[in-house]
Structure 1
Amino acid sequence: MIIVGAAMTLTVIDPVVSSEFFATHLGFREIVATEDVVYLGRDDTAIEIVVQRLDMEAPWAPGAGRPTGVVVTFAVIGIAAEYDRLQREGANITSPLVRLPGGEWQLQLTDPNGVVVQLTETQAPAGTDAATAQDRPSADRPGTEGSSHSALPQPRRYVSLALLLW
């Protein structure tokens, strides 16, 4: 199987505020919008987000679209600069930029409907030539200011969607 894109559907109380959050803070743009559904995309990745209104009158059944504690995780390059930008924009940062025990950098923000978004930046594994230089997020590393031509290896670009059920 070859996967060439991904879409995630988020069922929320107010799709408009989630759409504005993803556009303002994460660079998504509206592709199509109706009263109950907004389709968001980015030009630099094959990931789409569908934000749909929760139907409070519909009977609940497993898989019927009730909120389930979804965490959306995006791997990024330059997480320190993104953290600074999000702070300047007044984004609801619910966990500051931290380095996890495995070397990965992570921050967490939450949209107005309670959708949790994590941004991560993977570092070089310990023992590699780049590990010492990559002891800081890429925006803080010498030679990475505004350049994608750094001699240091760049982290792999990936996106994961972690589903946590209460």
Structure 2
Amino acid sequence: MRFTASTISLTVDDVTATQEFFTAHLGYGLQQAADGFASLTRSDAVDVVVLARGIEVLPPEQRDQRASGVILAFTLADGLREQEKRLRDAGVEITMPLRQEPWGERLFQVTDPNGVIVQFVEWVAPDTA
């Protein structure tokens, strides 16, 4: 098996709001869009498809569900503090401030207008205590 791409599909109430958040703040480009649908891409990250809740392309049992319980995490090579500052300065609410876990994960989170949680991670040496 050989994958050619990875995509996550998020069902939201307002496709345009998530599309604009990802393009304005996360560096995604709009690949395709139609009523109730947007396909977003970045060369260095998972593609994101945004679907409107209730859209008929979804199976009936999934149509009214929203993206929840999912954290879309991006690992950065460096510059985590700078990215938090950039997003904060752009008016994005930081919903989990920068913190470091004992196992070596440094992270912060933002939430898009539809409640999609986006986490930024940088790995550092774990606490040895």
* Kept in 2: contact 1:71–1:118 (CA 8 A): yes
* Kept in 2: contact 1:15–1:36 (CA 8 A): yes
Task: For residue 35 of structure 1, report the CA deviation from its aligned partner.
Answer: 1.3
Aligned to 1:48: 47
Q: Percent identity?
A: 36
* Kept in 2: contact 1:105–1:121 (CA 8 A): yes
Taking structure 1 as the reference length, the TM-score comes to 0.67
Aligned to 1:5: 5
Aligned to 1:134: none
Instruction: Report the CA distance shift for 1:108/1:38 in structure 2 as closer, same or farther (over 3 A).
Output: same
Q: Following the alignment from structure 1 to structure 2, what is the Cα–Cα distance between the partners of residues 55 and 85?
A: 34
- Which of these two proteins has the greater Rg computed from alpha carbons? 1
Q: Following the alignment from structure 1 to structure 2, what is the Cα–Cα distance between the partners of residues 59 and 4?
A: 25
Unaligned runs of 5+ in 1: 128-166
Aligned to 1:86: 87
* Kept in 1: contact 2:71–2:119 (CA 8 A): yes
Runs of 4+ in structure 1 over 3 Å off: 1-4, 56-60, 124-127
Taking structure 2 as the reference length, the TM-score comes to 0.85
Q: Following the alignment from structure 2 to structure 1, what is the Cα–Cα distance between the partners of residues 104 and 89?
A: 26
Secondary structure in 2 aligned to 1:27? coil
Task: For residue 22 of structure 1, report the CA deviation from its aligned partner.
Answer: 0.7
Q: Does 1:32 align with 2:15?
A: no
- Provide, for residues 112-156 of structure 1, a one-character-per-residue CA deviation record: whole Å limited to 9, x for no partner: 0000111100113567xxxxxxxxxxxxxxxxxxxxxxxxxxxxx
Q: Following the alignment from structure 2 to structure 1, what is the Cα–Cα distance between the partners of residues 87 and 124?
A: 21
Q: Following the alignment from structure 1 to structure 2, what is the Cα–Cα distance between the partners of residues 103 and 56?
A: 41
* Kept in 2: contact 1:96–1:107 (CA 8 A): yes
Task: For residue 2 of structure 1, report the CA deviation from its aligned partner.
Answer: 4.6
Aligned residues: 124
Task: For residue 69 of structure 1, report the CA deviation from its aligned partner.
Answer: 2.1
Instruction: Report the CA distance shift for 1:101/1:46 in structure 2 as closer, same or farther (over 3 A).
Output: closer
The CA RMSD measured in Å over matched residues stands at 2.3
What does residue range 130-145 of structure 1 map to in structure 2 within 5 Å? none
- Provide, for residues 15-53 of structure 1, a one-character-per-residue CA deviation record: whole Å limited to 9, x for no partner: 10001111111110101111110000013x252100010
Unaligned runs of 5+ in 2: none
Q: Does 1:69 align with 2:72?
A: no
Q: Following the alignment from structure 1 to structure 2, what is the Cα–Cα distance between the partners of residues 95 and 5?
A: 29
Task: For residue 3 of structure 1, report the CA deviation from its aligned partner.
Answer: 4.0
